[in-house]
Amino acid sequence: MSAPSVEKGIQFIKGQIDAPVASFFSACVHCGLCAEACLFFTETGDPKYTPINKVEPMRRIWESEFTLFGKLKSMLGMGEKVDEATFAEWETLVYDGCTLCGRCSLVCPVGNDISGMIRKVREGFAAAGHAPEGLIGASTRAVEIGSPMGVKLPAVKAQIKHLQQDTGLDAPLDVKGAEYMVLLSSMEIMNFPEYLEAIARIMKQAGKTWTIASKAFEATNSGIQIGVSDIAKVLVSRIVDAAEELGVKTVISPECGHAFTAIRWDGANLIGRPYNFEVKHILEVLDEFVEQGLIKTEGKEDAKVTYHDPCQIARKGGVVKQPRNLLNKIANNFVEMEDGGEMNWCCGGGGGVSANERADEVKLTAFNKKKSQLQALGVDTLVTACANCRLTLEEGLEENEMDMPIVGLTEMLAEYLVEDKKEEA
């Protein structure tokens, strides 16, 4: 273990450069179209936010270390250096000016996965000591306390107790052999307890066994956001260990974007082996339940609603048609936002931006995109499926003095469950 340094940062970036990254840099023609896909550019107009520019330090290292021409340039002293100043200059672009939303990757004409590269270059920035304070704090809490927001098991237990008292429903802890293991995000524990209640009602109606692991109730993964695989691995291992200990069939990722990416796609690669359980997003599970007739809904929302696709769930997670199936079941007046689906615009708070206080201002500027989209649409309610999006959107709406309820899709669905209606009646 050694102190963070430029050398360490460079070494980490070198280690991250693989064939895809090298092919992306070889293919870039500097057309600049990625800028048009990035809300940090469209909302600020500052070309430094052009996505491909955000990985410029990585490009320099690739060129000077992995290409003959670049090596010659370096020998002649013509190579572009990556030093302390470079890290300092790009730090805000890499962390504050990117939510890893991935729109740039989808519009790049040559097919460069730019957001994937930004995720990789963060490894180097963190190793060089250039990760933002906010994310360091969140990661530290996640590792030491168990949750980036400092939520501990007693808080979960308290919520379960509330649930039992208020509804008579149960959220079983550490049930071995349960079919589903439900994960929560800190925000759902702290800010949106409706989620747990909704899960309990849905699972009951579907007749499925489920559990919450006391060792791994937290789904979020600050390591993914700050870009430290070692930390991400520690955090994801907790979930894997718990799931395998309890012998569950499926782990359900909550309404949280990056948590889904962490558990569904990155986890196995972090721990270095495939899981022996499945991972599904809650919307995938709900859609299956509806398909299989396990849960039934009654009545429909009359208000005009739209759906905000969380980037990690839709664009990067492939859960696009499920929320639409579900919404059409329970809403009469569901309208699509412009570019809805896999090209949806980010809320502006993903990829660790919302945990990074330094980025608050640019985050609010970036929110202007969502603001104008919502204004153009004129909806009554905004539905989404990510607690982080939800919080960012709430903040943005409040800042812009827009009054609009934001609900999670899972809890909205739960409201229209047939059985529940009966109980309430």
Partner 1 sequence: MDANELLIWARGPGFDIALTIFVVGMLLRLLEVLALGKKPDLSAPRGSGPEGAVRTLIARTLPRKTVFDKEPLRIINGYVLHIGFFIVLFLYGPHIAFFESFLGFGWPALPSGIVDAISAITILSLIAALVFRMNNNVMRFLSTPGDYIAWAVTLLPVLTGYLAYNHLLLPYTLMLALHLLSVELLLVVAPFTKLTHMFSFAMARWYQGYQAGRRGVES
Partner 2 sequence: MNDLTLGERLRQRGVSRRGFMKFCAATASMMALPPMMIPKVAAALEQAKKPSVIWLSFQECTACTESLTRSHAPSIEGLIFDHISLDYHHTLQAAAGHAAEHAREEAMKEHWGKYLVVVDGSIPMGANGAYSTVAGHSNVDTMHEVAEGAAAIIAVGTCAAYGGLPMADPNPTDAVSVEDLVTDKPIVNVPGCPPIPTVMTGVLAHFLTFGRLPELDHLKRPKVFYGQNIHDRCYRRPFYERGEFAETFDDEGARKGWCLYKLGCKGPTTYNACATAKWNEGTSWPVEAGHGCIGCSEPRFWDAGGFYQALSVPTSDVGSTILTAGAAGLAVGAAAAVLNKKTKGAAVANRETITIKDLSKES
- In one-letter notation, the amino acid at residue 344 is N
Q: Which stretch binds partner 1 (CB under 8 A): 32-40, 195-203, 363-371, 378-386?
A: 32-40
- DSSP label at 81? P
CB of 52 to partner 1, least distance (A): 7
Does 73 engage in binding with partner 2 (CB under 8 A)?
A: no
CB-CB neighbours of 173 under 10 Å? 14
Does 12 engage in binding with partner 2 (CB under 8 A)?
A: yes
Among partner 1, partner 2, none, partner that 113 touches (CB below 5 to 8 angstroms by kind)? partner 1
CB of 144 to partner 2, least distance (A): 7
Among partner 2, partner 1, none, partner that 65 touches (CB below 5 to 8 angstroms by kind)? partner 2
Among partner 1, partner 2, none, partner that 264 touches (CB below 5 to 8 angstroms by kind)? partner 1
Does 52 engage in binding with partner 1 (CB under 8 A)?
A: yes
Q: Give the angle 119-121-125 at the CA atoms, nearest 5°.
A: 115
Task: Give Cα 340 distance to the centre of its chain.
Answer: 17
Strands (E), 185-300: 210-211, 250-253, 278-281
Q: Whose CA is closest to 350, among 226, 258, 228, 222? A: 258
Kindly tell me the burial class for residue 375, based on how many C-beta atoms sit within 10 Å of its own C-beta (0-12, 13-18, 19 or more).
exposed
Does 68 engage in binding with partner 2 (CB under 8 A)?
A: yes
Of these, 67, 140, 365, 368, which contacts partner 1 (CB under 8 A)?
67
Does 418 engage in binding with partner 1 (CB under 8 A)?
A: no
User: Residue 280 forms beta bridges with which residues?
Assistant: 252
Residues 115-144 that bind partner 2 (CB under 8 A): 126-127, 129, 131, 136, 139-140, 143-144
Helices 321-330 and 282-291, axial angle in degrees (round to 10):
60
Among partner 1, partner 2, none, partner that 406 touches (CB below 5 to 8 angstroms by kind)? none
Q: Whose CA is closest to 365, among 353, 355, 352, 382? A: 353
Does 217 engage in binding with partner 2 (CB under 8 A)?
A: no
Of these, 50, 186, 205, 381, which contacts partner 1 (CB under 8 A)?
50
Does 160 engage in binding with partner 2 (CB under 8 A)?
A: no
Question: According to the 3-state scheme, what is the secondary structure of 130-161?
Answer: CCCHHHHHHHHHHHHCCCCCCCCHHHHHHHHH
Q: Whose CA is closest to 199, among 163, 246, 148? A: 163
CA–CA distance, 378 with 1 (Å, rounded to integer): 54
For partner 1, the closer CB: 154 or 272: 272
Which positions from 308 to 347 touch partner 1 by CB under 8 A, shown as an x/- string? ------xxxxx-x------------------x--xx----
For partner 1, the closer CB: 47 or 177: 47
Q: Which residues sit at the interface with partner 2, rule CB under 8 A?
A: 1-4, 8, 11-12, 14-15, 17-18, 65-66, 68, 126-127, 129, 131, 136, 139-140, 143-144, 226, 228, 230-231
